[in-house]
Structure 1
Amino acid sequence: MCLLQPRMNKEMEELSPLGDSGHGDMSEEESEEDDGPKICQVCGDKSTGYHFNAMTCEGCKGFFRRAMKRPTKFCCPFQNSCVINKSNRRQCQSCRLQKCLSIGMRKELIMSDEAVEKRRMHIKRKRLQEEPVMLTPQQEKVIQELLAAHKKTFDMTCAHFIQFRPLDPDKNDISDHNQEHCSRKYAQKNINKPEPNIRVQRESSYVSTSSPSSNSQELENREIKRLGRIIFTSLPHFADLTTYMIKNVINFGKMLTMFRALVIEDQISLLKGATLEIMLIHFNMFFNEETNIWECGPIKYCLEDAMRAGFQRHLLDPMMNFHCTLRKLRLHEEEYVLMQAISLFSPDRPGVTHHKVIDHNQEVLAMTLKTYIESKRSEPEKYLLYPKIIGCLTEMRSMNEEYTKQVLKIQDIQPEVSPLLLEIISKDS
């Protein structure tokens, strides 16, 4: 109790001058007299300053505030002439109140409960701003575990990418071919003289044309197969890439203590819901917003590669905007892995049963991210970073749904989609 008393006194001192003291500006003469000891004009106890226009102690200040807010009227059991002092001030509330009023204490200077609470919150915020924000040992441990899991499950050099089936089956060296392909595309864009791309034009006709109404089913199937050979040239490569990325995400989750503590059904539901989003976050680490190219070690990807896998513009355009927005935030690796974990521990995924546990885990991760930003970043606009990251997480949810629709459509036409991806996007628990 004695350890708390100095802090309580400090809080009362901070609150009184601008809060419920109500004394207004003191005169020069009064200010000069403040150096000497003061006594309460009501009971003679040691005064703590001017309260409601009179010099009083904390006890009489609180009594006057409570008495003025109560509808009850006090009655003196004696002759309304009780002498109020420190020892008997509790015995007659009526005479004590009259003494308060006689020395000039004013009811109109009492702050409302709302105003007092607002003042206290202001003092609390001010104190928090003055104290440096630091990560707790528990938060440091969470970040270190996430970083270790990320580094063990995902190779930032992308050396494995060259083992996938090539982006263009006619080219043996997919790295040289794709770098030349992307460079030519953006060189054309820079001089504002884009050449017509026959393959993309054909794809456009594919994505905008519904099933022929006049052709027979046999002709329709033949046309779909023909378009599939033209459009889906990079699909085998993306099938291998997706399988590789999904395995990384699964292994990432298995390395997290909070994830392993969940029941297996919830683990599966969370992975099925978050895998595509975590893959997006992974790829953002390689994105160059100047050229709109994903520089994944030996291979460089551009938007046309995804189009040649069968994906459509109403997914790819928002995805490009997302990558540009997120990359411009210049996230630290710690912020990237926390973002992945927040996405993973989403309690509203289909099939989740233990919502409270997962919600608590996500809250811990979100607070860790917020504290990391406040403690590790110094730029003035750092307080805008956390809501921007949360906005990107929300945007990924809508892209996740559209991605699933387009993958299922591609699988119907060209069954080259990764079986593991189909398992991830399936609705079965």
Structure 2
Amino acid sequence: MRKVKLDQNCQICDDKAIGRNFNAITCESCKAFFRRYALKNKKIICASNGNCKITADTRKLCQKCRLDKCFSVGMKKEFIRTVEENENRRKLIEDNRIKRKQNSDQRSDSFDSSISPSTLSFTSDLTIEYDSINEIIDSSVGLSDEELEQQIMDIEDLDQNRSVNHKLLDYNIVNKMMANKITPIYTSIVDYQGFNELEANRLSELTNALNILNYPILLSNNVIKLKSVEQMFKYSKNKFEEFIIDMIRFTKKLNGFQNTCPDDQWALVKYGGMDFFGIRNTRFFDKETGNFVLTLDEENTIIFDIDLFQLKQFLDYPKLFKQVLNKLLIESSHDQFVMDLLTAIILFNPNRPKLEHRVNIRYEQQLYIYLLQRYLYQKFKSDFETKSKLQNLMIMLNDIQMISEIQRTLALSEFRHYLQDYGPLAKEIYGLSS
């Protein structure tokens, strides 16, 4: 288990804690003591009839009272692995790492990349400083491997009840979607009194940066009801190019993004752009009518129904699209702060093709997942409800990625000719650059 710096004390002896071990917050000494004695059947006797006070100074004087205290604070001997179990687990982790690498290589081969990162004039000093991120994450309590494994299994069980029936989808689409699947690593929250200064700074940075993309939702003097896909592409092409430019401006305001190398910056924008739009476009979706309402400028607003996106290869696509958007709005409770954090989570997806520093990207994503978890707890004041809501939101992000993959494969094969007049950035996002 990764040791973390904590401003907390061991629940057994009150010494400086290193993290969560066997389901309790412990120091290194009590962790080792529990591993050594919890599985022994030898009867231990206390000379003081079980009334010893266990502290950092007295913890070695009475094994019985120390072990009793370990169990009383919730430590579980079932979490202790044997040498053989440890070896099997290391082998399983290595096998999964190899599989992920193979999947990543396959995804990389399937994408086009003709525009260099310099096209967007990204700047980076190539120095990744994670001190403040470390402080935020280290201020929480790390989960044991056993608890983390159980939570991931719970998430995978939840995935079986997704809002979308994958059996209806093309096999290649499902494969790509699952390869990009977002799985949160839960962190035990100890401080429920609000965000600390570092967390607040991160959240403020995100919300301020996203002001660029908070377009007004207004009905201009000239409201145009679109009646065909051709009209939709014609009227929205300039707005879509503007959206991509604003997305890039948004990323430049995030220190975590700027501390990423230029090649990775470009990969996150190019391969994550459509997922990003899927999240932000919920602002323009009217779930009562099933229409998108998009203000082009001060004089013109367009309204179009998702039903315009009829696909010959997938007739239920408009219905599926509406279903995903509606459920995302319900799960987020129309909370713009939740949507902003989901935007950052989907931006920093470490499973994008052609990333050079996936660990760094994953670190950023897990930070925003942690901040979302913190925010949800402030709303619900319940661990169970917070975890359930977070799981559902992650499932919805995966469904947004599925919609994007359908657009990237099936929709583009039917609507490609409409996109020829789009700008260079839009073509790059859609994989149409020559």
The TM-score with structure 2 as length reference comes to 0.54
Aligned to 1:268: 266
The code of the aligned residue for 2:395 comes to G
Find the residue that maps to 2:192 and give its secondary structure.
coil
Match of 1:425 among 403, 426, 430: 430
Match of 2:412 among 372, 392, 407: 407
Match of 1:307 among 293, 309, 314: 309
RMSD: 4.5
The correspondence of residues 25-424 of structure 1 with structure 2, limited to 5 A, is 46-49=48-51, 61-62=62-63, 114=77, 132=192, 134-151=194-211, 153-158=212-217, 174-175=222-223, 177-178=224-225, 232-296=230-294, 299=301, 301-303=303-305, 306-307=308-309, 313-329=315-331, 330-378=333-381, 381-405=385-409, 406-412=411-417, 415-424=420-429
Instruction: Pick closer, same or farther for the CA change 1:258–1:62 going to 2, 3 Å.
Output: same
Q: What is the CA distance between 1:60 and its match in structure 2? A: 7.0
Deviations 1:235-289, CA, capped at 9 Å, x for gaps: 2112123212212211111111111111111101000122111212112123332
Q: Which runs of 5+ in 1 are unaligned?
A: 22-39, 52-56, 67-110, 122-127, 163-172, 182-198, 200-229
Aligned to 1:32: none
Inter-partner Cα distance in structure 1 for 2:248 and 2:349 = 15
Q: What is the CA distance between 1:231 and its match in structure 2? A: 5.4
Deviations 1:162-203, CA, capped at 9 Å, x for gaps: 6xxxxxxxxxx751x42xx7xxxxxxxxxxxxxxxxx7xxxx
My pick for the range that moved more, 141-150 or 302-311, is 302-311
Q: Percent identity?
A: 15
My pick for the range that moved more, 254-263 or 403-412, is 403-412
Inter-partner Cα distance in structure 2 for 1:399 and 1:5 = 46
The code of the aligned residue for 1:425 comes to Y
Inter-partner Cα distance in structure 1 for 2:432 and 2:356 = 15
Name the structure, 1 or 2, with higher relative contact order (CA <8 Å, separation 6+). Answer: 2
Inter-partner Cα distance in structure 1 for 2:388 and 2:46 = 52
Deviations 1:41-96, CA, capped at 9 Å, x for gaps: 975xx554399xxxxx9767527999xxxxxxxxxxxxxxxxxxxxxxxxxxxxxx
Instruction: Pick closer, same or farther for the CA change 1:4–1:148 going to 2, 3 Å.
Output: closer
Instruction: Pick closer, same or farther for the CA change 1:272–1:414 going to 2, 3 Å.
Output: closer
Find the residue that maps to 1:328 and give its secondary structure.
helix
The TM-score with structure 1 as length reference comes to 0.54
Find the residue that maps to 1:299 and give its secondary structure.
strand
Find the residue that maps to 2:292 and give its secondary structure.
strand
Deviations 1:214-239, CA, capped at 9 Å, x for gaps: xxxxxxxxxxxxxxxx7513321121
Inter-partner Cα distance in structure 1 for 2:303 and 2:400 = 20
Q: Indicate conservation of the 8 Å contact 2:268/2:348, yes or no.
A: yes
Q: Which runs of 5+ in 2 are unaligned?
A: 1-6, 16-24, 27-33, 39-43, 68-73, 81-143, 145-187
Deviations 1:299-334, CA, capped at 9 Å, x for gaps: 363425743999974443322111100111214222
Find the residue that maps to 1:294 and give its secondary structure.
strand
Q: Indicate conservation of the 8 Å contact 2:46/2:65, yes or no.
A: no
Q: Indicate conservation of the 8 Å contact 2:282/2:325, yes or no.
A: yes
Q: What is the CA distance between 1:374 and its match in structure 2? A: 0.9
Structure label with greater radius of gyration: 1
The code of the aligned residue for 2:288 comes to E
Inter-partner Cα distance in structure 2 for 1:41 and 1:264 = 64
Find the residue that maps to 1:49 and give its secondary structure.
coil
Instruction: Pick closer, same or farther for the CA change 1:259–1:4 going to 2, 3 Å.
Output: closer
